[in-house]
Amino acid sequence: MSARFVARWRDLRPADSVVYRDLGQRPPAPVDAAWVHAAFTPPTARSPWMQQRLAESDMLVDELLQADVIVAGVPMYNFGPPATFKAYVDNIVRVGRTFGFDRSRAGEPYWPLLAELGKTLVLVTSRGDYGYAAGERLAPQDHLGPWVRTAFGYIGIGDVHEVAVEYDEFGGERLQQSLERASADIDALAERLAQQHPRRAA
């Protein structure tokens, strides 16, 4: 489904560049104590090992900063995101790069650094069960969509659009109908966003 969105976008805006990242095949290294130590050390005071530990994170953040539209295909694993996507988010939520922090700041010590950049996130999810939408039977057990919105909103990406496929574990006609609905929603969303997003100068 995420590939469908990108294909439709390419049809509408063939001059746009697309960066593809497969987190399942090449997952980012999980955040650990050394990473946190390095990230919270001022850049001018970082030793070579700290710079090396943050190199992958820097690459992912740079990639994010260059993107106007982020398309994330994220299946639901046990009510939440896969560990590989969690590792990705942990690497891009970076103090001094995607969010600010100042403990002496009055009121809220944290603030998003990407809020004025006009970025959009398209979240395409798949679920084995069904009924996770607001007000439905499993809505309180959806720890994927709300978590993604919280994490990306924290760094300033609040324009989030979600399309979900359900009934993966059931198959049959209900899955087919869900796929058809999601396909139509994705096509319509790609067309709408392609019109809304400004084109960059060549």
The answer to whether the annotation marks 5 as part of a ligand binding site is no
Q: How far apart are CA 28 and CA 93, in angstroms?
A: 13
The answer to whether the annotation marks 91 as part of a ligand binding site is no
Q: How far apart are CA 64 and CA 141, in angstroms?
A: 29
For the beta sheet containing 159-165, the strands, ordered from the edge strand earlier in sequence to the opposite edge, are: 69-75, 120-126, 159-165
CA angle 79, 94, 199 (to 5 degrees): 90
Residue type, 136: E
The answer to whether the annotation marks 77 as part of a ligand binding site is yes
- SS3 label, residue 67: coil
The answer to whether the annotation marks 130 as part of a ligand binding site is no
> Going by C-beta distance under 8 Å and a sequence separation of 6 or more, which residues neighbour residue 202?
15
Phi first, then psi, for residue 69 (nearest 5°) are -125, 125
Residues comprising the binding site for FMN?
A: 76-79
Binding residues: 76-79
